[in-house]
Structure 1
Amino acid sequence: MTQRLFLLRHSEVPGHRGDVAVTEAGLQLATDVGRRLGERATGAIRVISGETRRTLETAAAVARGAREAGAEVIEDGVAFALRNPDLYLAGVRVNMVSSEAAFAEQIPGLTEADVAKVTFFNEWLTVPDRVGWWVRHPDPPGDDAAAVATRIRAWAASFADREDAAEFTVAITHSPVLRAVAVDATGSDPGEPAWLAGLEAEIDADRSVRLTLLPAAP
């Protein structure tokens, strides 16, 4: 049996300094996407998210919209595989944030000046397209794009192990994850995905994974 998986970006947030909440417009968009998916589903929809506030809130809104449309929804919690890339600063895993202060506050005793001394993080904060810069970076202090794509492919392939298959699964993740997987699947970086856009994966019983880009939210 072929499994279908939608890998989607979280909905709209006002910025990326820390793990901020999804906006009201973003929650409405996620609910609308869930409703559209629910209207066309003939079986159960599984919804999974990353561990951040913005992915959790998006997933909850998608599930709510699908239920409003009459679909059966299986809320399957958090998948660690959907996390942002693992980057390390002073021996600590840090989230991809947008200021020296936001990096420093993740590590007790580290100052903004300490962050600025580290070439990777100093450059990360100055480039216009930070995620695209990371995707192309040959040696980040942690996961590169190929490592993230390998992680997601292995996680997606494991859906072939399920016997309680939903009609399809919606997985809410982050832009860097989606862009890394897109490069692996297509050979080029498509740029920032729209809110709730991403990729569709088809997973066969032999654990092979076929990925296609979604130009907009499903």
Structure 2
Amino acid sequence: MLPPVRSTGAASPFRTHAGEIEVVLVRHGETRTYDRDVGLTARGKHHAYARGTALARALAGRDRIILRHAPTERARETAEALRSGLTDASGPPIAGDPKPDPAFGNFRIWCGDTAREPSGAYALYQKARNTGTVAGWITDFARYLERQRLGSDPVGYWLRQPLPSFEPPIAVVHRFGRAIAELADADDPTPVTVVATHSGCLRAVVATASGKDRGEPENGETVHVFATPGRDVATVHYRDRTDQWILPRTTPPWLRPAVFRTAVDGLT
């Protein structure tokens, strides 16, 4: 069952400052499998549609919204179902079609010579195992998949455990933060952007804002982020908490190896 979207009916209950933009991060709907990049189950499409109708009520009165999605099939189908729900429930006008946005993509795995998100990496992993290939990313991915197979918490493992071949949570937070800052600072910022994305990204953003991992979001669950043009402080609403998030507008040197190496050389 989908968690409720908190709404007072006429407008989003979270909106508090004039000039803010709102970015609604939505976890994709239930998918058929994580072994490859495929779309949603019938239940997943239904839940994403229902989330769209709920957002139509929560976002009533807004001038327009845009729809973005992570570049995976499950996120794309979620965005399409959200659009149908928003439209059928007479939500705010939607500007254009849902578009893929790599800035809001899932965390990636460096599979030797190519970067793939987990469902895209699975086929490469199987091929590597079948041919007896030995590589660090295969070990990392095997450990991640073992948690998934046991029904524990693979995303939580990624959040806590250094996995050298995986894009780290802090890199995802910087990527999302910069993308949200750019939406806020646009010459003509769109009041609301609804983004279909992935649970690990949501957990990393929420953990950064609240100071703790708050667990796996439900399929279709939302995180609302409010940002103001030119301001570094955003507001993050998730479940029963409201927290401030300092948007990471610049990348620290340790996420830019060439810059970091230069800085270290300058100290020696």
* TM-score when normalising by structure 1: 0.86
Given the superposition, is the C-alpha separation of residues 199 and 101 from structure 1 closer, same or farther in structure 2, using an over 3 Å criterion? Answer: closer
Counterpart residue type for residue 185 of structure 1: A
Which of these residues, 193, 201, 216, is aligned with residue 192 of structure 1?
A: 216
Q: For the residues of structure 2 that align with 1:111 and 1:120, how far apart are their CA atoms?
A: 13
Q: For the residues of structure 2 that align with 1:147 and 1:91, how far apart are their CA atoms?
A: 19
Counterpart residue type for residue 203 of structure 1: A
Q: For the residues of structure 1 that align with 2:114 and 2:122, how far apart are their CA atoms?
A: 15
Which residue of the partner structure matches residue 133 of structure 2?
114
Question: Deviations along 1:88-145, whole A, 9 cap, x unmatched?
Answer: 12222122139x963336xxx6344436873212211222311111111234314111
* TM-score when normalising by structure 2: 0.71
Q: How many residues align?
A: 212
Which residue of the partner structure matches residue 104 of structure 1?
125
The answer to whether the aligner puts 1:30 opposite 2:54 as a matched pair is no
Contact kept in structure 1, 2:35 and 2:122, CA below 8 Å: no
Q: SS of the counterpart of 2:236?
A: strand
Relative contact order (alpha carbons < 8 A, sep ≥ 6): 1 or 2 greater? 1
Counterpart residue type for residue 133 of structure 1: Y
| CA drift at 1:167 | 3.4
Question: Deviations along 1:29-53, whole A, 9 cap, x unmatched?
Answer: 1112212222342121221111111
Given the superposition, is the C-alpha separation of residues 26 and 206 from structure 1 closer, same or farther in structure 2, using an over 3 Å criterion? Answer: same
The answer to whether the aligner puts 1:156 opposite 2:180 as a matched pair is yes
Which residue of the partner structure matches residue 62 of structure 1?
82
| CA drift at 1:193 | 0.6
Q: Percent identity?
A: 28
Given the superposition, is the C-alpha separation of residues 89 and 153 from structure 1 closer, same or farther in structure 2, using an over 3 Å criterion? Answer: same
Q: For the residues of structure 1 that align with 2:139 and 2:42, how far apart are their CA atoms?
A: 37
Which residue of the partner structure matches residue 131 of structure 1?
155
Counterpart residue type for residue 184 of structure 1: T
List alignment gaps of at least 5 residues for structure 1.
none
Contact kept in structure 1, 2:23 and 2:195, CA below 8 Å: yes
Given the superposition, is the C-alpha separation of residues 26 and 185 from structure 1 closer, same or farther in structure 2, using an over 3 Å criterion? Answer: same
State which structure, 1 or 2, has the greater radius of gyration over its C-alpha atoms.
2
Q: SS of the counterpart of 2:216?
A: coil
Tell me which stretches of 4 or more aligned residues in structure 1 moved more than 6 Å.
none
Which residue of the partner structure matches residue 147 of structure 1?
171
Which of these residues, 73, 85, 90, is aligned with residue 112 of structure 2?
A: 90
Q: SS of the counterpart of 2:38?
A: coil
The answer to whether the aligner puts 1:19 opposite 2:8 as a matched pair is no
| CA drift at 1:24 | 1.1
